[in-house]
Amino acid sequence: MYLLLGSERALLLDTGTGHATLRPVVESLLDGQRLIVAHTHSHGDHVGGDGEFDEVVGKSAEDVATYFGIADWPNDVVQLDLGGRVLDIIPIPGHHASHIAVYDRTSKVLFSGDSLYPGRLYVFDWTAFRASMTRLAEFVAAGNPVEWILGAHIELTREPGRDFEMGADKHPDEHELELDAGVLSELAEVLEEAGPDPSRIESDHFIVYPVPAG
């Protein structure tokens, strides 16, 4: 979960699994800003705390497009000004139909949710995911430099390409969370090379992990 503070508005990106009380912590960090609660995407581990908040951006791609004013989903990139801090909202379906990435022009951090992190990148819609990662890499190349990419999970160890078992309750010597922009370029390239048929791809910093339909 990430809380981005502007002078007038604040964006809470994801509400987690719902196993911990979130709202008092968030409110203690606000200084009069109006809170917007949105998600990178609406899998259960990202929306679990929604019930604590009065108003939350909806869970479908249509809801997300409507809230942020994205006319041509998933091709348009739109801006959200928090007050002295402009975010770019970038639709990137593939892991989930409603998935967005958020680029913070101030910190040059790209929030990538479950679409890129040091772990298994579960791809539910291969065609959409390939197109999304190409568009995201193009967005960065087109004058939006990225200092760090911050995703939502860590499933890799420090040993290149080696992951923890699914459901492991301990992660000794896990990979650091932050990834540099080169990892996004690499992901877009290997997806391009892989072609139209889903395939598992292992890299030092991620594992592309297609999930069969149904």
Q: How far is the CB of 174 from Zn ion (least distance, A)?
A: 16
CB-count exposure of residue 51 (10 Å: 0-12, 13-18, 19+): exposed
Q: Which stretch binds Zn ion (CB under 5 A): 12-20, 25-33, 44-52, 60-68?
A: 44-52
Chain positions 82 to 141 lying near Zn ion, rule: CB under 5 A, are 114
Q: How far is the CB of 111 from Zn ion (least distance, A)?
A: 13
Q: Which two tokens stand for residue 58?
A: 């909806």
> Is 134 in a helix, a strand, or coil?
helix
Which runs of consecutive H residues, i.e. helices, occur in the chain? 23-29, 44-47, 61-68, 126-141, 181-194
45 binds Zn ion (CB under 5 A): yes
Total residues interacting with Zn ion, rule: CB under 5 A: 3
Q: How far is the CB of 106 from Zn ion (least distance, A)?
A: 25
Whether omega before 118 lies within 30 degrees of 0, making that bond cis, reads: no
Q: Which stretch binds Zn ion (CB under 5 A): 10-18, 36-44, 77-85, 174-182?
A: 36-44
43 binds Zn ion (CB under 5 A): yes
174 binds Zn ion (CB under 5 A): no
C-alpha dihedral over 143, 115, 27, 58, to 10 degrees?
A: 100
> Residue 85 carries which side chain, given as an amino acid letter?
R
Q: Which spans of this chain sit near Zn ion (rule: CB under 5 A)?
A: 43, 45, 114
